[in-house]
A and B are shown apart, each in its own frame.
Chain A
Amino acid sequence: MGGLEHATPGILLVLIGACVLLYRELSRGSKGYVHHIRRIAGVDAIEGAVGRCAEQGRSVVFTTALTDVGPVLFACLGVLHSIAKRVAQYKLKLQVPQYSPEAMALVEDTVREAYREVGRANAFDPESIRFLSSEQFAFASGYMGLMHREKAGAAFMFGVFAAEALVLAEAGQQVGARQVAASVSPEQVAFFICTCDYTLIGEELFGASAYMSREPVQVATLAAQDRFKLFFIALIIVGVFLATLRQWMPELGGYMPHLILLKDWSAFGW
């Protein structure tokens, strides 16, 4: 099914529901309610990888690869912020090769901010945020070169990836870097599982930032998205039940949850 250009009343209701849930969780967070976040081994490994770099005196590489400005990039920036703070504390070298010039400005701001927060603003090197190319494989070859020159001790690949994912991950493998990857691209997850030490799958990328920072706003968002997901899981279960029931009662056809959600405004007189 292609994307919708305009929301149906059902989708509008869902969007309003999402806003209400987010508002509720943010209010609870502001009142001091602390949500429990389950342990994510991949995120715990990030700290270990940075610590290993400190022991070996090797640099840390973080890439958002093909991620453009959008929610995924902001989720990656949260993780980058936490990593950059640790890198600054341990006086390590951080390299953030860039594919998207738009994202680069935000990345630079995030890293600079992290260095400032730990009181090492002077140690921030703008050249560590390096634009490589906006061409997929030119970026991949630039990243490979960087990994081999720097002999990075840890590589973090967070964001949107395509065919270059395996090239990037193999480059890290070749120099013996500890690698943690997180991708919302399901097709690339398999490649990361094969080549990286830890892989965060799908929404874990969004959770990683909240897990690392424990910032109330981020934790509240995580809680809201979990509740929202529960709603969808319930919807799927109801849908499966009704679809099964429809085998015996065909007149139920119009009452499928997804059909109700997709009923457009014309059904309401518009």
Chain B
Amino acid sequence: MVATQSGDTRARVIRFFTFLGGIYFFVYFVLPEPLVEELGMKAHHEQISNGFIVVGSMAIGLGLFNLVRTHGARCVFARPGWMNSLSLLLGLFVTVGVMSLQWIHSMKSSGEVQDVQMIGEFASKIGDDARGKSGIVDPSTGVVLREYASQKLGKIALHIAGDQEIVADVAHEVLRKDLASRIEDLRKDEWYLGTSSDLSALTLFTQKSNELASSYSVLMQAEASQATIQRLYNFLYDGLFNQLGSAMFALLGVYIAAAAYRAFRVRTLESALMMTAAVVVMLGQISFGKEIYEEMPAIRQWLLEVPNSAAFRAIRLGAGIAGLMLAIRMWLSIESTSFSSEKK
């Protein structure tokens, strides 16, 4: 009795939220665009849509749980095929581990680049403030910026020295030299040294800082592409995952031939028609077809655009209407037993 009541409540909650989710998108679709904008729905629509996507993406956890449960149990109880399950789970965890480390590494790199970009942004902000005060630069903020810039320049110089020992190829050497010269240039800057504090000197300093940040970003990207974790990621994703996917896709070539052989055996009027159409389309596609009959490409085009399109449209129309009806039924939860504990 208690279980039935909780089941009914669950069903009601699901129906309520299904209706609520549906009515939002229905109202958004049926209302005229100016009215949607007036009601403020347009401004939040993307966020709401993204919210639905986020909720949906939580289901990935379900998939992960299912994989671990199914294959974990097979490994633990040494059921037949446990070696395959073990390799799947190892592959899963290694990939998750490598991708997480790669993400952490890239976040760290971009954080360091952002710190350096901050010099230019800080200087630019000081310049903007000064322009609002008849060109007078606030000396106290200037001191803070110089200190910050000095600290970061020292850090970049140290990074370059450390990097030299790790990555020693020609491309990196060029980037390092460029960055070192920019650091030196910035260290000799009049505004940085404090010998000039006017707005034009600050503008020049801002420009140099931005250029330095951009060079540093290029070096960091080059370094990241050479990092061990990135190489491991490339090996797993580009080297294995994508290649295995391509291999599966390549199987289609063989399968199409096998399927065509079965389908094109002329046993009935329909299969004869199908084979004739296929031969005409294939001949129309290749230059040899034109040698046989000049109008072959035109016949191919007609077959694709007229009878083929008509059939496609008929399928799409029927499926679309059926989908619409089912969608209305789902939205209004006019269902029989799904999600519900109301048993027959």
Q: Cβ of A207: which chain B residues have Cβ within 8 Å of it? A: 322
**List of B residues within 8 angstroms of A113 by Cβ:** 337-338
Say yes or no for A59: interface residue by CB 8 A criterion: no
Q: Which residues of B contact A167 (CB under 8 A)?
A: 248, 251-252, 255
Structural contact, B252 and A109, CB atoms closer than 8 A? no
Q: Is the CB of B31 within 8 A of A6?
A: yes
Query: Per-position contact with A for B300-344: 1 when CB-CB < 8 Å, else 0?
Result: 000000000001101111110111111111100011111100011
Q: Is B39 part of the binding interface, using a Cβ–Cβ cutoff of 8 Å? A: no
Please judge, given known A-B contacts A109-B339, A116-B343, A170-B255, whether A229 and B318 are in contact too, CB under 8 Å.
Answer: yes
Say whether B76 faces chain A, with CB atoms less than 8 Å apart. no
CB pair A7 B66 closer than 8 Å = no
Inter-subunit contact B326/A104 (CB<8 Å): no
Contacts of B317 in A (CB 8 A): 229, 232
With A130-B66, A138-B245 in contact, is A186–B35 under 8 Å at CB? no
Known: A75-B326, A221-B329. A195 touches B262 (CB 8 A): yes
| Residues of A with C-beta under 8 A to B322 | 71, 75, 202-203, 205-207, 225
Question: Across the interface, do A184 and B325 meet the contact criterion of CB distance under 8 Å?
Answer: no
Tell me the A154-175 residues at the B interface (CB within 8 Å): 163-164, 166-167, 169-170, 173
B62 within 8 A of A: yes
Q: Are A186 and B311 in contact (CB under 8 A)?
A: yes
Tell me if B162 is interfacial: C-beta within 8 Å of chain A: no
Min CB–CB distance A6 → chain B (angstroms): 5
Give the number of residues in A that approach B within 8 Å (Cβ atoms): 73
Flag if B323 contacts A71 (CB, 8 Å). Answer: yes
Contact B335 A217 (CB under 8 A): yes
Chain B residues with CB under 8 A of A130: 66, 70
For window 271-317 of chain B, which residues contact chain A by CB distance below 8 Å?
311-312, 314-317
* Mask of A121-136 contacts with B, CB within 8 angstroms, 1/0: 0000011011100111
Contact in complex: B245, A102 (CB < 8 Å): no
B56–A202 CB distance below 8 A = no
The answer to whether A228 and B321 touch across the interface, beta carbons within 8 angstroms, is yes
Among residues of A, the one whose C-beta sits closest to the C-beta of B262 is A194
Q: Report the bound CA distance from A45 to B148 in whole Å.
A: 77
List residues of chain B with CB within 8 A of the CB of A205.
319, 322
Cβ–Cβ < 8 Å partners of A74 in chain B: 326, 330, 338
Tell me the A167-210 residues at the B interface (CB within 8 Å).
Answer: 167, 169-170, 173, 184, 186, 189, 191, 193-195, 201-203, 205-207
**Once bound together, how far apart are the Cα atoms of A117 and B251, in whole Å?**
41
A241: interface (CB < 8 Å) = no
Leading 9 A-B pairs by shortest Cβ distance: A101-B63, A203-B318, A206-B322, A265-B32, A137-B248, A194-B263, A202-B315, A71-B326, A102-B59
Known A75-B322, A137-B245, A164-B248; 20 more pairs at CB < 8 Å? A19-B328, A72-B319, A100-B59, A104-B63, A109-B338, A116-B343, A126-B69, A131-B66, A131-B67, A170-B255, A184-B323, A189-B315, A193-B263, A202-B316, A206-B325, A221-B329, A225-B322, A229-B317, A265-B34, A270-B32
18 chain-A/chain-B pairs, Cβ below 8 angstroms: A6-B29, A12-B30, A15-B30, A70-B327, A102-B59, A105-B59, A141-B248, A163-B249, A166-B255, A167-B255, A169-B259, A186-B316, A193-B263, A217-B329, A221-B326, A225-B324, A225-B325, A270-B35
Seen from chain A, the residues whose Cβ lies within 8 Å of a Cβ on chain B are: 5-7, 12, 15, 18-19, 22, 26, 69-72, 74-75, 77, 98, 100-102, 104-106, 109-110, 113, 116-117, 126-127, 129-131, 134-138, 140-141, 149, 163-164, 166-167, 169-170, 173, 184, 186, 189, 191, 193-195, 201-203, 205-207, 215, 217-218, 221, 224-225, 228-229, 232, 264-265, 270
